[in-house]
Amino acid sequence: MSDLLKRLENLSPEKRELVLQKLKQQQSQTSPSKQSQPPALISVSRDTNIPLSFAQTRLWFVNKLEGESAAYTIDRTLRLQGNLNIKALEQTFQALIQRHEPLRTQFKVKNNQPIQVITPNVNFQLPVVNLQNLSNPQQQIQHLLAETASEPFDLDNGSVLRVKLWQVKKDEYILLIAIHHIAADGWSLEVFIRELSTYYHSFCTGISADLPPLSIQYADFAIWQRQWLTSEVLERQINYWKQKLAGVPLLHQLPSDRPRPPIQSFRGGTELFHLDRDLLEQLKQLSQRQGCTLFMTLLAGFAVLLSRYSGQTDLVIGSPIANRNRTEIEGLIGLFVNTLALRFDLSENPSFAEFLAQVRTTTQDAYDHQDLPFEVLVEELQPDRHLDRNPLVQIVFALHNAFSSPWDLPGVTVEEITSELDSVRVDLEIYLSDGPDGLAGLCSYNCDLFDGETIARLMTHFRILLKAIVDNPQQSVSLIPFLTDQEQQQLLQTWNDTHADYNYNKCIHQLVEEQAERTPDAVAVVFENQSLTYAQLNRQANQLAHYLRGLGVETETLIGLSIERSLDMIIAFLGILKAGAAYLPLDPEYPSDRLRLMIEDSQIPLLLTQAPLLEKLPQTPTQTLLLDELWQKITPYSQENLTGVVTSSNLANVIYTSGSTGKPKGVMVEHRGLSNLTQSQILSFAVGTNSRVLQFVSFSFDACISEILMALGSGAALYLANKNALMPGIPLAEQLRNYHITHISLPPSVLAVLPCENFPALQTIIVGGEASSPELVKQWSTGRNFFNAYGPTEGSVCATVAKCTPFDTKVTIGHPIANVQVYILDSHLQPVPIGVTGEIHIGGVGIARGYLNRPELTQERFIANPFSNHPTAKLYKTGDLARYLPDSNIEYLGRIDHQVKVRGFRIE
């Protein structure tokens, strides 16, 4: 058995397929069941209307629907050097056209049905263009080749064969041969080459061409196919494919560089690649051990790569099959090729060897049911049709042998010129051919979707993955490595080398205390006509902190804080932190039920609020202190800073995330992450003692603390305003203008409705919480700094920042901030390559402690960091999808779940 497999392996894919088909025919002939035998394939009269084959019908309809196109052209360009006999070459093409009816067939409509009209005789004349007098004929020839090859065919009245010869030197010519796919396929091209050489030799020497007569032609096959695929034969084939493709995904999820346009343009590009002989031999040995063909092994490897790139475990890959399983059609030119829609399942994360067994079974079963034309399958399945894609199959994979019939023209040296395709029929086509130096690969791709750099990277990964497969076929498909060492280093280390010498071991209130020492008399906070200097703010916050300690507040006591925007809000915020406690912000504008849930879930022992807000807050057993009535009690307390009551690893706050339709969860954020954030943002956003920062977002939103701290940690003035003064539009514009605000953080939806006036003081805009558009960036980034910030509460508010410019065509989320790492990983925690979608995982200083009273959820979302040398290091699984761009920027792509953000707030 192994000897037979080895012999089969050495055959070309087409010949191997032919042998297998003949064996199947012999088995069926010796089988007791004689039902459903195909009718005899015989020559029929040309006086009758000849239908199109199923494959021809599809191409004819595509031609009529989308107009004349060069997308379905098979072409070869040759450099001919030597004593070329032009007359013999012309006679050769004349003989080929006369021998093969498809080369002299036109397509007409009769009784509302397309038919083949075979012209009995064609007088072929070879057009010859002399370019010898041009100063640079090679440059001109490239233009002429592209122009001629892309010229569409007229299927109704023109020829399906186009030939042109350019003479560039006395003994050098360029020959272009182009055939419409409706008349030929890849196998046909080998027949064409072999017989062209035979005829040319004959006309040069006068010796008759030794070619057997053709007893049948493609038209006979088209009629035979229509007769054969009827009733029970057709039904049996259809039932098999319907079962195989039930619920199949109709579109691949391979990440593209650009969105899919509404209508296919068929603009194509090519990338060449190579698999060396050593790797090829290893793949053949693996195939033999696993009892499958080389094609199956290569296809399995490619399917694994597609799955790793796309995240899909249910894949459909098209595989062209020669479909020449009858001896009498082997020597014909015509469109016999069929496309098999091969479906693979990787959902159980099998080993590669296990998956290869599945691929073997799938392909063998498909070969047993190859008679159903792809066009009929599509018609039966009736998938939703879209002008932007091909139905069912958008990715094709094929293995061909290098042509066994070389160009053989006496006295002429023939060199094939590889032309870059400018048209493509599907999104991605991979063609491999077995040659003496290994496997030569050609990848044609849709230029509307992909860049050449992306495809080249994909092919590099294919090569690495195949090498990993032969090294260890037993490893799970999810863990097979395919990144280069350089990429691995880049993604995991270089682009995460964010070390900065920040003292994040300081607590956030200590940053404010230090600023109060540096600029005690500078204005710290402004609310309407009231203000506090840094010294005043620090003293009053210290008095509150000492008072709270006197009440029994300890380190990490969680205190609820529900205060309207005012100076007291900032004093209370700092006072709680100075006391060593952590605060839970409770926006009095929240619904009462949500506030009750947060209070009860957090089990806060103490709530700090104001008398006017009592009626808005739910009745709970929690002890309540009214800050506006406490000042007489607080005033006698010490104005000195407290020491030794809290460290940077202690809790700073608990922020409840998620919307009212999902159960809110409290995120426990420590000082060190917020301290690192503060120092990073002050530097990145250039906040200084002359800056004026507007506090815009709700106090319960995590971004509020970054607004407060970037101001108070840098010596800037923090400006507060009541909610009415911050209404999007004109009221907000008045605040910016009247108070000469220099820095502001806004959701993009708020910035979008802000009147685009001249705010001369406004130096920096930070947007976040929602997706921003290039148009918005262009409108507001001219003449000032514009940043797009990204980060979940679990990552201490902000994990990445992008500095945007008016020239950006895409708004990214930039790079990790200082001392934070961002990894884009697949579902098995493997880094994904550039351009591939994965889930954002955040590591480093900014990781929160976890979820309050939710240990199971904490364990699920805060996982061990496999890329860190520290045994306790964690990664936060954000649930956000993103990808790295080639320039190292990160592009945000949405959520894994159904969560969205409205003005920065998470809503399930």
Give CATH for domain 50-219. Answer: 3.30.559.10
Closest CA to 441 of 422, 456, 423, 425: 456
Q: What are phi and psi of 180, to 5 degrees?
A: -70, 140
What pLDDT is recorded for position 693? 99
The pLDDT-based confidence of 585 (bands split at 50, 70, 90) is: very high
Closest CA to 138 of 176, 171, 167, 177: 167
C-alpha–C-alpha distance, residues 466 and 533, integer Å: 67
What pLDDT is recorded for position 138? 75
714, HSE (Cβ side, Cα atoms, 13 Å)? 27
Q: If you average pLDDT over residues 147-155, what whole number do you get?
A: 83
Q: If you average pLDDT over residues 316-331, what whole number do you get?
A: 92
Is residue 404 over pLDDT 70? no
The pair of three-digit structure tokens given for residue 702, joined into one six-digit string: 């995590």
**Could you give the percent of the chain with pLDDT greater than 90?**
81
C-alpha–C-alpha distance, residues 557 and 539, integer Å: 22
Residue range 103-130, pLDDT digits in tens: 999 999 999 999 999 999 999 999 999 9
Closest CA to 641 of 512, 503, 504: 512
- Beta strands 743-746 and 764-768 are parallel
β-bridge partners, 800: 790, 816
- Longest CA pairwise span in the chain (Å): 121
What pLDDT is recorded for position 16? 56
Is residue 225 over pLDDT 60? yes
Is residue 28 over pLDDT 70? no
What is the CB neighbour count within 10 angstroms for residue 507? 24
What pLDDT is recorded for position 19? 56
What pLDDT is recorded for position 662? 64
What pLDDT is recorded for position 770? 93
Stretch (H or E) spanning 165: strand 161-169
Residue for token pair 């036109």:
106
The pair of three-digit structure tokens given for residue 730, joined into one six-digit string: 């004109």
What pLDDT is recorded for position 418? 74
Stretch (H or E) spanning 838: strand 838-844
Q: Is the dihedral of CA 622, 628, 629, 632 positive or negative?
A: positive
- Beta strands 172-180 and 161-169 are antiparallel
C-alpha–C-alpha distance, residues 719 and 721, integer Å: 7
C-alpha–C-alpha distance, residues 422 and 431, integer Å: 16
C-alpha–C-alpha distance, residues 671 and 674, integer Å: 5
The pair of three-digit structure tokens given for residue 203, joined into one six-digit string: 């006309």
Residue 353 carries which side chain, given as an amino acid letter?
A
Residue range 739-792, pLDDT digits in tens: 999 999 999 999 999 998 889 999 999 999 999 999 999 999 999 999 999 999
Fold of the domain spanning 2-23+225-255+268-328+344-382+393-403+419-492: Chloramphenicol Acetyltransferase (3.30.559)
Count the helices and strands in the chain (H runs, E runs): 25, 37
Q: What are phi and psi of 637, to 5 degrees?
A: -75, 160
C-alpha–C-alpha distance, residues 223 and 725, integer Å: 80
Q: Which residues contact 120 (CB under 8 A, 6 or more apart)?
A: none
Where b means 16+ CB within 10 Å and e means fewer, 196-214 reads bbbbbbbbbeeeeeeeeeb
What pLDDT is recorded for position 907? 46
Q: Is the dihedral of CA 677, 679, 683, 685 positive or negative?
A: positive
Residue for token pair 């939703």:
384
**What is residue 650's DSSP assignment?**
S
Residue 625 carries which side chain, given as an amino acid letter?
L
Residue range 60-100, pLDDT digits in tens: 988 888 777 677 888 889 999 999 999 999 999 999 999 99
The pair of three-digit structure tokens given for residue 385, joined into one six-digit string: 């049709």
- Beta strands 558-562 and 606-609 are parallel
Q: Who has greater pLDDT, 215 or 424?
A: 215
Is residue 53 over pLDDT 70? yes
In 679-825, the DSSP E strands lie at 692-694, 717-720, 743-746, 764-768, 785-790, 800-804, 815-816, 820-825
Q: Who has greater pLDDT, 475 or 146?
A: 475
Angle at 459 between CA 458 and CA 465, to 5 degrees: 90
Residue for token pair 């992306």:
454
β-bridge partners, 163: 177
Closest CA to 402 of 186, 80, 183, 163: 186
Q: Which residues contact 206 (CB under 8 A, 6 or more apart)?
A: none
Closest CA to 892 of 715, 746, 773: 773
Q: Which residues contact 430 (CB under 8 A, 6 or more apart)?
A: 302, 396, 397, 398, 441, 442, 443
Closest CA to 198 of 378, 338, 406, 372: 406
The pair of three-digit structure tokens given for residue 29, joined into one six-digit string: 């002939």
Residue for token pair 């190859």:
370
What pLDDT is recorded for position 548? 98
Closest CA to 412 of 139, 211, 174: 174
What pLDDT is recorded for position 540? 98
β-bridge partners, 447: none
Contact at 8 Å (CB) between 876 and 860?
no
C-alpha–C-alpha distance, residues 112 and 555, integer Å: 86
Mean pLDDT of the chain: 92
Residue range 603-618, pLDDT digits in tens: 999 999 999 999 999 9
Angle at 513 between CA 512 and CA 514, to 5 degrees: 90
For the chain, how big is the Rg over CA atoms in Å? Answer: 36
Q: If you average pLDDT over residues 346-360, what whole number do you get?
A: 98
Domains of the chain, by residue range, sit at: 2-23+225-255+268-328+344-382+393-403+419-492, 50-219
What is the CB neighbour count within 10 angstroms for residue 135? 6
Is residue 146 over pLDDT 90? no
The pLDDT-based confidence of 698 (bands split at 50, 70, 90) is: very high
Phi-psi region of 97 (alpha: psi -120 to 50; beta: other; left: phi over 0): alpha
What pLDDT is recorded for position 27? 43
β-bridge partners, 413: 81
Q: If you average pLDDT over residues 407-420, what whole number do you get?
A: 86
